[in-house]
Amino acid sequence: MIRRQVIDPAFPQCPIRNVLARIGDRWTLLTLLVLDAAAQPLRFKELCQALPDVSQKMLASTLKALEADGLVQRQSYAEIPPRVEYVLTDRSRTLLPLLHPLVDWSHRHLDDILASRLRYAEQQAEAAE
Amino acid sequence: MIRRQVIDPAFPQCPIRNVLARIGDRWTLLTLLVLDAAAQPLRFKELCQALPDVSQKMLASTLKALEADGLVQRQSYAEIPPRVEYVLTDRSRTLLPLLHPLVDWSHRHLDDILASRLRYAEQQAEAAE
DNA sequence: CGGGATCCATTTAGATACTG
DNA sequence: CAGTATCTAAATGGATCCCG
């Protein structure tokens, strides 16, 4: 028995598709965690440095998506040189406590999962002979 | 201050990249939830039907990735016609309780998030004039 | 400094047809 | 039934240059 309203992809406003798909993308979750760990507003450049291999383009589009969803707030100051800071919102602060257990789970199970992947790859290689 | 070991993408075995990136893809989480909701082994075809718009190709590769990570177990029976069933594992059963709050959160905040997106899009349209 | 615009390489997804 | 193979379309990611 499936809880269709919650997980049915045919349900026009399937929450999983609309919400989790976004935090599941490559940089969104990482960005939220960096802001959370910093516990203070961060500038574009600081975020860029905290995520060593994000490109400016991807960080910019990630931040725009987060801002559109009301998960970060963008504060721009009319200064020279310009300064823009990003902060978590009340909405994202209700989300982060749910994300931490997931991060911890990943951390705890990483070694086992990597071992499983290796074993699986070996089995596939054997079967191919 | 950033908990580097946990979230640093430069950390060679960054758990977020290795684990969460995978469950964050388009079908993985949905597949796990369907198996969880079913509470019984499901055949390939049943999964295909539970996820109305997944293609065979995507379901097959999703299941292979889940199997490689030890998050589902594949049981194939030597029958004619062939029968293959997929079940959750002990490992994924420790993960699912962490996923449910996330699904609930998405469900509760979906309307607000969609409204935020709309407002954001309108503001962008205005600014473009 | 904080991006936007553009171009290009790579990856990913889907449709269709086919097989053990 | 449970997939694989192949081809194509589309989305994603990165590099570079430019601007307020």
Could you tell me if B71 and B89 are in contact, meaning their C-beta atoms sit under 8 angstroms apart? yes
CA–CA separation, B88 and B69 (whole Å): 12
Q: Is residue A24's beta carbon less than 7 angstroms from any atom in nucleic acid strand C?
A: no
- Residue in A99, A34, A36 with CA at minimum distance from that of residue B20: A99
The C-alpha of A113 sits at a distance from chain B's nearest C-alpha, in angstroms, of: 5
Structure tokens given for B15: 């758990």
Measured in angstroms, what separates residue B44's CA from nucleotide C15's C1'?
19
How many CB atoms neighbour CB B26 within 10 A? 15
Residue of chain B nearest A30, judged by CA positions = B7
- Beta B42-43 vs B83-88: how paired, if at all? antiparallel
CA–CA separation, B5 and A123 (whole Å): 31
**For A37-96, what is each residue's pLDDT tens digit?**
999 999 999 999 888 788 899 999 999 999 999 999 999 998 888 999 999 999 999 999
One-letter amino acid at A111 equals: D
Residue of chain B nearest A47, judged by CA positions = B2
The three-state secondary structure class of B74 is strand
Which of A18, A103, A120 is closest, CB to CB, to B67?
A120
Reported as half-sphere exposure (CB side, CA atoms, 13 A), residue B126 has a value of 6
Residues 6 or more apart whose Cβ sits within 8 Å of residue B3: A37
One-letter amino acid at A73 equals: Q
> What pLDDT was estimated at residue A2?
33
> Which range, A11-15, A27-31, A85-89, B54-58, is most confident?
A85-89
Q: Please state the pTM of the whole predicted model.
A: 0.89
The residue among B65 and A17 whose pLDDT is bigger is B65
Strand D nucleotides within a 7 Å radius of protein CB atoms: 1-6, 12-17, 20
> What pLDDT was estimated at residue B26?
83
Q: Mean pLDDT throughout A89-106?
A: 94
**For B66-98, what is each residue's pLDDT tens digit?**
999 999 999 999 888 899 999 999 999 999 999
**Please, is B122 exposed, middle or buried when counting C-beta atoms within 10 Å of its C-beta (0-12, 13-18, 19+)?**
exposed
Of A90-104, B13-27, B49-63, B90-104, the one with minimum mean pLDDT is B13-27
**For A20-30, what is each residue's pLDDT tens digit?**
888 888 889 98
Assigned fold of B15-128: Arc Repressor Mutant, subunit A (1.10.10)
> What pLDDT was estimated at residue B125?
81
Interface probe with A: pick from B106, B110, B117, most Cβ of A within 10 Å: B106
Which of B6, B50, B106 is closest, CB to CB, to A16?
B106
- Beta B83-88 vs A42-43: how paired, if at all? unpaired
- Residue in B33, B9, B55 with CA at minimum distance from that of residue B100: B33
Of A7-16, A39-48, B27-36, B119-128, the one with minimum mean pLDDT is A7-16
CA–CA separation, A98 and B107 (whole Å): 14
Q: What confidence tier does B13 reach under pLDDT thresholds 50, 70, 90?
A: low
CA–CA separation, A50 and B4 (whole Å): 9
Show me where the domains of chain A are located.
Answer: 15-128
Sheet holding B72-77, edge to edge: B42-43, B83-88, B72-77
